[in-house]
Structure 1
Amino acid sequence: MNASPNPYQIKAFTFVARERSFSRAAHCLNVTQSSVTQHVAKLENQMGTQLFIRRREGVELTRAGIELFKITDRLATLDQLVMEKINDYSALSEGNIRLIANAPRPAMPIIAKYGELYPHVQIDFTLYDWTSAMSLLNERQVDMAIVTEPSDSETLVTHELRRSRYMAHMRSDHRLAKKAVLSLEELQSETLVLPGDGSLTQKVAQSKIREYGLKFPRVLKTTTFPMVKEALLHNLGVGLLLENSMYPSDKLVAIPVEEMPEDYRDCVVIPRDKKDLRLIKSFLGVCVEAVVSEESNSVGS
């Protein structure tokens, strides 16, 4: 009969999986890296399988590691909830939130506001395409995400922040920039600038193009939203993007598109068992406040 893994082995594995690094896991646990390495090695020994693929740039979970992490991360979250109840935190003086988004806005204004209110909480923020963002959420690789039209899941909790529609973005000196409304047909002669594969924007745009039987002979695909903005600023084409998904620029304009009247939800998405963590609840509160403030400023301007 195999011996049960001890709590230290489970905790070491969970933090290495969370941080994708043995050294960062050791720092989080306030122990030596060799201690973390030994605990993980003993756990792999007991299970008779490798949990991590060690690479120069970090570690990657194996299939067995992914399955185990889905369980152990829940245990770590429950442990954190218990500690919060015991200590009854009255203020947030430290902590770490792993946050991702599929567009710079509304995520970045929210992060800025949260940093003002809770300067000692560390936020690890990365932009991903929509498909990768949903995958990371479902695999519990992040604490929360701000994504557009998230897919439904019983393991996730969704809070709608705002709604927006797709518009044609272009340089303010573009030949079509003075139009009140544009049609996709008018845009066919332009180079269409889109985020890369896996993005919701690319899926929506391609779906609309097929629906109306149109052809765009020139499509420029970029890796991220910031790259889309750079392409537009350099007058490389016209982008189909959600309104307010990028930081405003007086060099760019956004024009409604006749065939794209639908509203799309920007949402905060949280693994269900993390929703009551004090850090998560505080961030969600700031999300709502920041979006309301931004919309009020837009109306007033």
Structure 2
Amino acid sequence: MRANHHQFVAFAYVVREGSFSAAAIRLGVTQSAVTQHVAKLEKQVGSKLLLRGREGISLTRTGQEFYDLADRMVTLDSEINERLEGFEAMARGHIKVIANAPLPALKAISVFRKTYPDVEIDFALYAWTTATRLLRERRADVGLITDPPKADDWERVPVQTTHYVAYLLPSSPLASRDLLYFKDLEQETIILPENGSLTERIVREAQDKYGIQFQRTIKMTTFPLMCEAVFQGAGIAIFLGNSGLISHGLVEVPVSELSETHEIAVVAPKDRARLRLVKAFIDIASSSDFR
């Protein structure tokens, strides 16, 4: 017996949604049906495709290969349905957006929501390494990524440019400076994003280049948490400039050793970029009005 279309669809949605129960809701079927489809597919393949653990599901190496094929099938199905339904398909639907910096993504989501109020949006913020991996593995429809790697099968549209700054309390003795140097920050407590972030990597490379190491650092998971830590007097944060409204009330000062300009781009797998909802999001995020 050959694997059938329903089995591939169920498998793709389990991976995309992160669980069997969420896949069942998205597909409008019972969780038992999804479980049976995936089990039958694994039996046909002759190998485990998914590993179940306390933190959810993960793909085996074989599972990743089959997911790539299954997700392309689901994407093609979606494109065909859009053609059949016409623009009515854009009145509803679902889009999964990820980003490594909050403000550009949230601004695009806000405009998109006003245009397509009935579309369900899933948004998550990740470290740069995780965000790019999820896009590469087709776990999201579209992402707003700083300096995304070049890939032949990605649609990549520039959105804006930015640079790194230090976020300080207005009461800090350094807040009145027009420019800071690493030597000014050497004895300060520096708040950085978690390991795997673009910021953490760039700061580490700059420290190696200029031979200056910060004496104390604190790693935080998200930019809002970093800003809250600055407000609480925990230290000085380094992150991309103008990254979120939560930083209002803090002072942004450029850092000499981090003066390089970085590009934020909206990125999607090329086949998904042809889907009308994804294309609409890309158009909104890259429009001159949005910038």
Query: Structure 2: which amino acid aligns with 1:76?
Result: V
Partner of 1:161: 159
- Residues in 2 aligned to 1:33 and 1:250: alpha-carbon distance in whole angstroms: 45
Partner of 1:229: 227
Which shifted more, 49-58 or 78-87?
A: 49-58
- Residues in 2 aligned to 1:121 and 1:52: alpha-carbon distance in whole angstroms: 29
Cα offset for 1:71? 0.8
Unpaired stretches in structure 1, ≥5 consecutive residues = 296-301
Aligned residues: 291
Partner of 2:168: 170
Superposed counterparts of 1:58-73, under 5 Å: 58-73=56-71
Cα–Cα, structure 1 residues 294 and 269, in superposed 2: closer, same or farther, change >3 Å?
closer
Query: Structure 2: which amino acid aligns with 1:112?
Result: S
Cα–Cα, structure 1 residues 250 and 28, in superposed 2: closer, same or farther, change >3 Å?
closer
Partner of 1:193: 191
Q: What are the Cα deviations for residues 30-64 of structure 1, in whole angstroms up to 9, with x where unaligned?
A: 22222222111111111111222233553222222
Cα offset for 1:83? 1.4
Cα offset for 1:259? 2.3
Q: What are the Cα deviations for residues 228-281 of structure 1, in whole angstroms up to 9, with x where unaligned?
A: 111111121112211111225442000122222211001111011111100101
Partner of 1:217: 215
1:258 aligns to 2:249 (yes or no) = no
Cα offset for 1:11? 1.4
Relative to the length of structure 1, the TM-score reads: 0.92
Unpaired stretches in structure 2, ≥5 consecutive residues = none
Instruction: For residue 236 of structure 1, give the secondary structure of its aligned residue in structure 2.
Output: coil
Query: Structure 2: which amino acid aligns with 1:171?
Result: L
Which shifted more, 132-141 or 237-246?
A: 237-246
Residues 97 and 121, structure 1, Cα contact 8 Å, conserved in 2: yes
Partner of 1:82: 80
Which shifted more, 89-98 or 33-42?
A: 89-98
- Residues in 1 aligned to 2:255 and 2:52: alpha-carbon distance in whole angstroms: 48
- Indicate the percent of aligned positions where both proteins have the same amino acid: 41
Partner of 1:49: 47
Stretches (4+) displaced over 6 A: none
Q: What are the Cα deviations for residues 115-158 of structure 1, in whole angstroms up to 9, with x where unaligned?
A: 12211111111111000111111111111111100111112111
- Residues in 2 aligned to 1:294 and 1:172: alpha-carbon distance in whole angstroms: 29
Q: What are the Cα deviations for residues 268-296 of structure 1, in whole angstroms up to 9, with x where unaligned?
A: 1101111110010111122124xx4465x
Cα offset for 1:19? 1.2
Superposed counterparts of 1:1-301, under 5 Å: 3-55=1-53, 58-90=56-88, 92-247=90-245, 249-289=247-287, 292-293=288-289
